[in-house]
Each structure stands twice: as C-alpha cells, then as structure tokens.
Chains A and B, each alone.
Chain A
C-alpha cells in the first residue's frame, strides 16, 4: 500500500543549529514529493517540491531536501534554524499513476532561543 512516514512527530533544535526532518515513502512508481509548512492558524505553504529533475531541491527560507530513490527518502534540512521556522511540516507524496495524494502525519518543529 502507498504510504508516507514522517519519522519524528516532534523535533526540537536550538536557534542557529541544523534542522533535519525525516520522511520516507513507499512507492511502486516515481512519485512527486513535496514539503509544506503550516504556521499556527495559517494555511499550508509549499516549501519545495521534487518532480524528477535534480535530486537536491532547494526551497524557500533556506530549506532544501534530497530525493534518495534507493532509500525511498525525502528528508528536509536547513543549515541554521531560525525562530520563525517553528511550525508544523508535512511531507506529501503525489502518485502520478493513480492521481493520488498522501500526507504524512506531520512533524512539529520547535526552535529554542
């Protein structure tokens, strides 16, 4: 069955330290992969997407993600966390064959001063 697993429900980092949010997916086909961010009481904003071009994808606000087909992973990273990065992050997979979108359960990022 198709699924998306965000390996951490909560991640806490100190401001200025690196961020790593992990995402694994299951797939029989080459999917499109997305990371969305949701700040409190806000809608979902697209951070970045992978659509079968370069495997290292750069997004907004200094975030990037690397598509690793052999590991079926699409982890989100940022070299230096900022207080404004505190939010909920969703890994999303779109299966083009079935036109189906699957959301991960989300990872809440806390940033300590």
Chain B
C-alpha cells in the first residue's frame, strides 16, 4: 500500500511570507497528525484530525498557523506570516482504526525561513 505522501519536500521562504504544506495519508486512515520537528528535538504535535474534525490543536500557534482537512482525506497546513523560528521539518502522520495507535509518517517537508 502507498505510504503517507507530503509535498513539497523542501521550501525556502523569507520571513513574513506565507507557505503551505500538503499531506495525503494512507488510504482509509481516519486520523491525521501534523508535527513540527525543530532541529535536534523530537516531534511536537501541532494538530490532530479525526476525519475532518479537529481532535487536538492545543499546541498550534493559531495566530499564524492554520490547518484543514475538508473532505477527511488530504490535509493542508499553512503558515502566515512565517517567522524565523518556524524553520523546522513538518511531519505528517496517519493512523488507522485499530486501537493500538501505530502512526505512519511521511518523509516530511523541510522549511527554512530566512
């Protein structure tokens, strides 16, 4: 089966610009996650979707970050305006309906804000 797809793989922008990342989860996976991984740190959960509803967005900086999963399949994460500290890898993961919680990760999008 196809894995989690993300695009773009790399993005360089200047501060105050906007950027969007796209994720397509494994087919049939109802749960989708966006993580931010700053260099040298573990992934930090930004937002978790269950189908097209938000389960947890407590660590999403809502003044500049937004995410949607309108049809309950693919998802977009947006940053507007970007700050230097947003430079990180943005990881998308999906989870199926079994109760044991295995997440499958995409390759990530590496963002550099100059």
Q: Which residues of A contact B (CB under 8 A)?
A: 32, 34, 36, 41-46, 49, 51, 90, 92, 94, 96, 99-101, 103-106
Contact = CB atoms under 8 A, between A and B. Distances in A.
Contact of B102 (A49, A96, A104): A49
A32 B105 contact: no
B61 interface: no
A36 B105 CA distance: 10
B96 to A, nearest CB: 13
Contact of B45 (A34, A101, A105): A101
Interface residues of B, number: 21
Contacts, number: 47
B100 interface: yes
Nearest to B4: A43
Contacts of B33: 101
A70 to B, nearest CB: 22
Contact of B108 (A43, A49, A100): A43
Given A44-B91, A105-B42, A94 B106 contact: no
B42 A99 contact: no
Give the most central of A32, A43, A105: most B CB within 10 Å. A43
B42 to A, nearest CB: 4
